[in-house]
Amino acid sequence: MEFKFILMRKTHRSFYRVLRFINFSFIAVLIGCSQQAPINKEFSTGIPFDTNTALATYTLPYLEPYSSLSGFYPLDDGQEALLARLAMIQAAEKSIDLQYYIYRDDNTSSLMTWALYQAAERGVRIRILLDDMQSRDDATLATLSSHPNIELRLFNPFENRSFRLLGFVGDFDRLNRRMHNKAIIADGAFAITGGRNIGNEYFAANDTVDFGDFDLLLIGAAVADITVQFDVYWNSRPATPVEYLVDNIQAPTETQLAQWHQTLENYFKDSAYITTLAELPLAQNIKNQSLDFYLAEAVVVYDQPSKVYAKDTNALLLHQITAVLEQAESDFLLISPYFVPTKNGAKALADAAREGLNVTIITNSLASNDVFAVHGWYAKYRKMLLEGGVKLYEVKVDPSLKKDRSWLGSSQTSLHAKTFIIDRHTVFVGSFNFDPRSAYINTEMGVFLDTPEFVEHIYQQMDTGLIKNTYRLALNNGEIIWIDDHNAVQFDSEPNASIWAKIGAWLSGILPIESQL
């Protein structure tokens, strides 16, 4: 099956109702699948929104006049993204649900885990669902889950815990399929979803690489929908309690807890990173209770968890996204770090541009891409796209640039945001990359928003951000050139990329691996 997005001219403004129907029509089926779990585990659902909690009280002035809408605050800065999560965790009174593909064992992740543990200590119910692709210390996870208020499940786990790679030999098709969804929900009142995982590189706390990413802090109707999505995955067959994977589980001792706290204190005590958190616009807005939420109709969409074991299902998120893309009439802006359109997808985009659709694509350059195999296959379609009239931009890696609060990237930055905009009013934010892996292999999620005001803000930022932070690609006598409009420089080959990266990308592009990217 080919990865294919067909862009057509259609006038149809009721797609939000259609998507909401699609979103909820599968819930009964999904819960049915979850009840077929091969292990005995407790079924649970999100704790309903309670107007008496502090977080709920905070949202009511924004939402009372607009009960059917959702409010959102864009998190395009890594530090603000961490601060928002910590603020939610620390303010939660009843429940926190957390779902991620990657959850690192580093400083910011440990700080967030400590906040979760402290929330559990004050009686908050914590449910943590992590994909099992990342190798972690099972004993540490089990120790965390030993707290009476914390449950931790691993999605689609490896049976061989010591030699995980050996599992691929006999069980590749299952283990190759991962949960890429990303969400955190507090008290049914606030949620965050988007492209970020949990780790230093996602929160602007890494000295070597900063993933320029994008999340939404959400309130209102979308939070309930994200909670339903979490429940579907939490109760699904692949979600396995960590206790089934670990023997001799022991609760942390007081000494271990004290050491954990001391380690965090020593690391962050004189940290400029932590000091500047209090100076962020988000921090001031939270303090003054003056968060400036955009209000919009929102539709949460997601793959079924059965995508990892029933691959022939027709209920793919890809189909929901394609249905929306088909409505594009004037503009299509795509921001994707891992862009592998395939031949059919590239042709559809080029044809749409020839027919008058203004198609703009922003992705990583070879130098900023952390997966050169992806770049090798994307590069095969650049000429086709440019010949069709698609505007193509690649993120720079330029040490001379001053680091900005921008998800378009800056010095030492790799683009990681995943979003697209249709006709300057409909925006999608989520975990979905425009590549075969997101389309057919991994599970994904996201949210559609009808928000012309916010889209206009994005375009205003982009007007200057593209010139400063990206290369504009063009054709010169049939050959691709990279134009640095900010410095008035032109390149005839991949800028700032090492010879080894170029060789690696080229070799990847001739290997039969496109369907896995």
Query: What architecture is domain 27-39+75-287?
Result: 2-Layer Sandwich (3.30)
Which band of pLDDT confidence, cut at 50, 70 and 90, is reported for residue 30? very low
Cα–Cα separations (whole angstroms), residue 33 to 37, 159, 237, 305, 310: 8, 21, 7, 9, 11
Model pLDDT, residue 250: 85
Same fold yes or no, 27-39+75-287 and 315-516: yes
Residues 282 and 83 sit within 8 Å (Cβ to Cβ) = yes
Residues 26 and 225 sit within 8 Å (Cβ to Cβ) = no
Which band of pLDDT confidence, cut at 50, 70 and 90, is reported for residue 404? very low
Residues 456 and 443 sit within 8 Å (Cβ to Cβ) = no
Q: Where are the domains of the chain?
A: 27-39+75-287, 315-516
User: Is pLDDT above 70 for 167?
Assistant: yes
Model pLDDT, residue 313: 64
Angle CA 288–114–184, to nearest 5: 65
pLDDT in tens, 325-336: 999 999 999 999
Which band of pLDDT confidence, cut at 50, 70 and 90, is reported for residue 358? very high
Model pLDDT, residue 38: 60
Q: How far apart are CA 389 and CA 357, in angstroms?
A: 9
Residues marked as catalytic: 180, 182, 187, 416, 418, 423
The single-letter DSSP state of residue 204 is T
Model pLDDT, residue 31: 36
Q: Looking at the whole model, is its pTM more than 0.95?
A: no
The single-letter DSSP state of residue 79 is H
User: What average pLDDT does the segment 224-250 reach?
Assistant: 94
How crowded is residue 61: how many other Cβ atoms within 10 Å of its Cβ? Answer: 9
Residues 34 and 342 sit within 8 Å (Cβ to Cβ) = no
Name the residue with higher pLDDT: 215 or 248.
Answer: 215
User: What average pLDDT does the segment 104-131 reach?
Assistant: 95
CATH superfamily to which 315-516 belongs: Endonuclease Chain A (3.30.870.10)
Model pLDDT, residue 511: 92
Q: How far apart are CA 385 and CA 161, in angstroms?
A: 44
pLDDT in tens, 433-475: 999 999 999 999 999 999 999 999 999 988 888 998 999 999 9
User: Is pLDDT above 80 for 424?
Assistant: yes
Q: Left (φ > 0), alpha (ψ -120 to 50) or beta: where does 2 sit?
A: beta
User: What average pLDDT does the segment 317-327 reach?
Assistant: 92
Which band of pLDDT confidence, cut at 50, 70 and 90, is reported for residue 398? low
Model pLDDT, residue 191: 98
Q: String of b and e for 452-483 (b: at least 16 CB within 10 Å)?
A: eebbeebeeebeebbebbbbbbeeeeeebbbb
Model pLDDT, residue 286: 83
Name the residue with higher pLDDT: 267 or 354.
Answer: 354
358-364 vs 391-395, strand pairing mode: parallel
Total count of residues recorded for the chain: 517
Q: How far apart are CA 63 and CA 72, in angstroms?
A: 11
Model pLDDT, residue 22: 36
Residues 313 and 307 sit within 8 Å (Cβ to Cβ) = yes
Model pLDDT, residue 3: 32
